[in-house]
């Protein structure tokens, strides 16, 4: 990494230099540098509206970068050890879709875990690829998925030797990192391209106590949510290709397809600025977040009725790393399920990232301070004190996701006629829509899959616990969209 170059923010510098010219705008957007904006937006955005520009070729072109934007993306590649890096203003969703679209053609098989984000299904619809699922391990005591292990991958590849690629989620939402190095070595040995959804790992390379970053494990393409844990604006992400990856140009073409042709310059400048911050201060700011998280975990585990797992989840086989900035707080010792715990935390002024089973997930990031860390501990202590001595109720239980039964490629299911039927009548039919409980955006049922009894049981249990579905046309799930005509050909 060239630390001298990393001190620069070429796109930020170019944007500010352009704004300093005070050019008269005869181009989009229509508010003309804030002159015609609503009062609310003027109060909200202020002087930043001068930087809300249309496609300014004086500032480079996201889809054919040659100037400061290309330099900014090259600096990101240098920082992460990539052969080429792409900026995304359509989030990691676009990056994942582009990876799959670049690598898989119509009818190609791709090995994925059931815990794949719904954007993976979007990528299958766009590419025409057919999913092959590898089995994930589930920790029943902690009620979290551990992801697939090497045996799971070997079994899937043996059953589908013509598979073109494999996609891993690394780490999981709970910060659990599988044995990606071993999985990658085996997949490459079998001739598979390796794609990684590293949405929650953009900070991994900046502290030795965090899991190894995916690119360092030898994978081919990595999608990262820079906005999630690395300080850029929401909706901004990066896509990295390893050095000498033969399909890099196809990835570039795919990114052109899945991104808006009106990229927001705030977003692009945000990525450039966040990259510089990580390069210059990454070890310090990520280390501070780690120390805060360790203190929070220690204090939470001292509260009677509350438990938080940590590095003890590493078994050296399925799980080989853990991100300690992810705080999965189990309230079952208080007789509370995750939904109830979240409700009580909100009364304390605390908003968490995710709810499942008996726990909630809280993130400690570079934006946290000693005060925010203590606020989380205090809120949990208040909840525990409120329930002290109360009759212990049976807390909720997080079920492992049902094993999927693929009937046809998601793209084919997308294009076939569909109808809505009562949920109870959907058993044995083929799904014409995804059923997801969001976050984390992992489908329990996807396009082109058989609706099994296990799927229906899982859906009923989630609905009864108070979770709201994302994806179905009928948000109550009284009805479900299924294919009118079912064919078992892929």
- pLDDT interval class at 71 (50, 70, 90): very high
Q: What is the domain-level CATH number for residue 355?
A: 3.90.1150.150
Kindly state whether residue 432 falls inside one of the protein's structural domains.
yes
pLDDT at 392: 64
pLDDT at residue 391 is higher than 70: no
The tokens describing 396, both together, are 């909720």
Residue where a domain stops, chosen among 259, 279, 299: 279
What predicted TM-score, i.e. pTM, was given to this entire model? 0.94
Looking at the chain, the whole-number percentage of residues with pLDDT higher than 70 is: 97
CATH number at residue 438: 3.90.100.10
Q: What is the C-alpha separation between 107 and 98, in angstroms, rounded? A: 17
Q: Residues 453-486: pLDDT tens digits?
A: 999 999 999 999 889 998 999 999 999 999 996 5
In a domain, 395, yes or no: no
295 and 346 co-located in one domain: yes
Contacts of 109 (CB under 8 A, 6+ apart): 129, 130, 131, 132, 160, 162, 163, 164
pLDDT, residue 201, reads 97
pLDDT at 451: 97
Both 228 and 338 in one domain: the answer is: no
Same domain, 150 and 41: yes
Asked if residue 128 belongs to a domain, the reply is yes
- Are 115 and 217 within one domain? yes
In a domain, 229, yes or no: yes
Q: What is the pLDDT of residues 299-353, one digit of tens each?
A: 999 999 999 999 999 999 999 999 999 999 999 999 999 999 999 999 999 999 9
Cβ-proximal residues to 132 (8 Å cutoff; 6+ apart), any chain:
109, 110, 111, 112, 156, 159, 160, 163, 406
pLDDT given at position 1 = 85
Pair 163, 39 in one domain: yes
Percent of the chain's residues with pLDDT above 90: 90
What pLDDT is recorded for position 54? 76
Structure tokens at 97: 């879709």
Count of structural domains within the chain: 3
pLDDT surpasses 90 at 389? no
Q: What is the pLDDT of residue 56?
A: 72
Q: Are residues 126 and 174 in the same domain?
A: yes
Residue 235 — very low, low, confident or very high, per pLDDT cuts 50/70/90?
very high
Whole-Å CA distances, 65 to 42, 87, 105, 310: 31, 11, 27, 43
pLDDT reported for residue 395: 61
Could you tell me if 154 and 35 lie in one domain?
yes
314 in the same domain as 274: no
What are the distances in angstroms from CA 114 to CA 118, 175, 188, 273? 10, 17, 21, 35
CB-CB contact of 447 with 440 (8 Å): no
pLDDT (mean) for 126-131: 98
- Indicate whether 427 and 351 sit together in one domain: no
Where among 341, 372, 387 does a domain terminate?
387
Distance CA 105, CA 243 (A): 23
Q: How does residue 58 score in pLDDT terms, banded at 50, 70 and 90?
A: confident
Q: Does residue 30 sit in the same domain as residue 141?
A: yes
Which tens digits make up the pLDDT trace of 21-44?
Answer: 999 989 889 999 999 999 999 999
Q: What is the pLDDT of residue 441?
A: 87
Task: Provide the domain limits for residue 367.
Answer: 283-387
Asked whether residue 415 is assigned to any structural domain, the reply reads yes
Residue 163 lies in a domain: yes
Give the model's confidence band at 19: pLDDT under 50 very low, under 70 low, under 90 confident, else very high.
very high
Are 377 and 239 in a shared domain? Answer: no
DSSP of 72-136: HHHHHHHHHT-SEEEEESSHHHHHHHHHHHHH--TT-EEEEETT--HHHHHHHHHH--EEEEEPP
Domain-located, residue 402: no
Verify that 425 and 373 share a domain, yes or no: no
The CATH number covering residue 241 comes to 3.40.640.10
Query: In whole angstroms, how far apart are CA 184 and each of 152, 153, 221, 269?
Result: 13, 10, 12, 33
Examine the fold and report which residue of 356, 387, 418 is the final residue of a domain before the chain moves on. 387
> Is residue 104, in this structure, part of any structural domain at all?
yes
């Amino acid at each position: 990494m060239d630390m001298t170059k990393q001190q620069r923010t070429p796109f930020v510098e170019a944007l500010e230099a352009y704004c300093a010219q005070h050019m008269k705008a005869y181009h989009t957007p229509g508010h003309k540098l804030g002159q015609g904006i609503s009062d609310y937006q003027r109060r909200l955005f202020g002087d930043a509206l001068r930087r809300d520009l249309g496609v300014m070729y004086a500032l480079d072109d996201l889809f054919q970068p040659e100037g400061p934007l290309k330099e900014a993306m090259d600096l990101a590649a240098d920082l992460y050890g990539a052969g080429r890096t792409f900026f995304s203003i359509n989030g990691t969703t676009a990056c994942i879709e582009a990876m799959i679209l670049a690598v898989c053609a119509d009818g190609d098989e791709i090995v994925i875990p059931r815990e794949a984000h719904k954007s993976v299904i979007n990528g299958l619809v766009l590419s025409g690829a057919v999913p092959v699922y590898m089995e994930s391990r589930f920790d029943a005591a902690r009620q979290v998925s551990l992801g697939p292990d090497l045996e799971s991958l070997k079994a899937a590849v043996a059953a589908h030797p013509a598979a073109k690629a494999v996609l891993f989620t690394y780490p999981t939402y709970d910060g659990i990192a599988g044995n990606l190095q071993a999985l990658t070595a085996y997949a490459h040995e079998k001739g598979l391209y390796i794609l990684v959804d590293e949405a929650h790992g953009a900070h991994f390379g900046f502290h030795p106590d965090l899991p190894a970053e995916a690119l360092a494990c030898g994978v081919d393409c990595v999608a990262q949510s820079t906005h999630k844990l690395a300080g850029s604006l929401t909706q901004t992400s990066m896509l990295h290709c390893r050095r000498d990856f033969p399909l890099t140009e196809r990835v570039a073409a795919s990114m052109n397809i899945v991104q808006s042709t009106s990229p927001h310059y705030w977003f692009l400048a945000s990525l450039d600025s966040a990259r510089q911050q990580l390069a210059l201060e990454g070890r310090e700011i990520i280390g501070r977040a780690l120390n805060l998280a360790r203190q929070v975990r220690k204090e939470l585990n001292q509260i009677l009725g509350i438990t938080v797992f940590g590095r003890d989840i590493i078994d050296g086989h399925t799980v080989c790393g853990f991100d300690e900035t992810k705080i999965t707080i189990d309230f079952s010792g208080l007789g509370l399920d995750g939904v109830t715990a979240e409700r009580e935390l909100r009364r304390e002024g605390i908003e968490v990232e995710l709810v499942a089973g008996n726990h909630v997930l809280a993130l400690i990031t570079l934006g946290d301070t000693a005060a925010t860390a203590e606020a989380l501990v205090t809120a949990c202590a208040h909840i525990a004190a409120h329930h002290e001595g109360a009759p212990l109720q049976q807390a909720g239980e997080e079920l492992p996701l049902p094993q999927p039964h693929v009937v046809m490629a998601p793209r084919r299911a997308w294009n076939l006629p569909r109808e809505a039927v009562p949920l109870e009548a959907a058993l044995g039919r083929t799904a014409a829509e995804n059923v997801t409980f969001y976050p984390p955006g992992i489908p329990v049922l996807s396009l082109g899959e058989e609706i099994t009894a296990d799927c229906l049981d899982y859906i009923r249990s989630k609905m009864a616990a108070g979770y709201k579905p994302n994806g179905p046309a009928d948000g109550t799930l009284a009805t479900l969209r299924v294919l009118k005509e079912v064919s078992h050909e892929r």
